[in-house]
Amino acid sequence: MSEKLTGILVKYQLIAFEEKEIYRFGIQQGIMLLLNFITVLAIGFAYDMLFYVLVYIIAYIPLRSYAGGFHAQTHMRCYSYSVIILNTVLLIIKFLFISTSIYHIITLISILIIFLLSPVEDINKPLDKVEYITYRKKVRMILFFETVIYFITSYTKHSNAISLAFFTISFFLIIGKIKLVVKCKEKNN
């Protein structure tokens, strides 16, 4: 679709041929963002849990953006993993009885992992020293803010979505760190 749209833009001389690839990439990213947004809303409506979805996404996206960790190799895999994870989170909130104290334990362990490991770079997206320091500070600021919100709302079910967002991020950090260590060992051998 992005290829066809950029072809039309070039054909009608709305963009220069030399800029075609840049526009194709931008259009492709826009389509993926729109697809993700529509999917998130559809899942939220399907479970009648739109507010939980929004809480989860609002907690997840800012931290994940700077924390790093495991990343899928293709857009389609990323999309598929995201759909599976969001469905799993909602099913846990809706059908599993997990006590508030267990959510607190999950949250505290996840916060510790995020605080200690972030940011975890990906093989395909290495960080330079300045980026590492900047991302680490941003993760810690966001984490502090979201932790305060979690504990303020900790006796509502909506805080469970924040707890599971922290858990998901810490899981991706651990997987990303393992993947990075394995790749470094393979490279040195």
Mapped onto helix, strand or coil, the DSSP state of residue 68 is strand
1 pLDDT band (50/70/90 cuts)? confident
The residues with which 141 forms a beta bridge, in sequence order, are none
pLDDT digits (tens, 9 = 90+) for 32-52: 889 999 999 999 999 999 999
Q: How far apart are CA 68 and CA 9, in angstroms?
A: 35
pTM: 0.87
Q: How far apart are CA 169 and CA 162, in angstroms?
A: 11
Q: Give strand ranges (E) for 78-185.
A: none
36-40, 95-99, 107-111 — most confident range = 107-111
Q: How far apart are CA 146 and CA 62, in angstroms?
A: 10
State residue 13 phi and psi, 5-degree precision: 55, 35
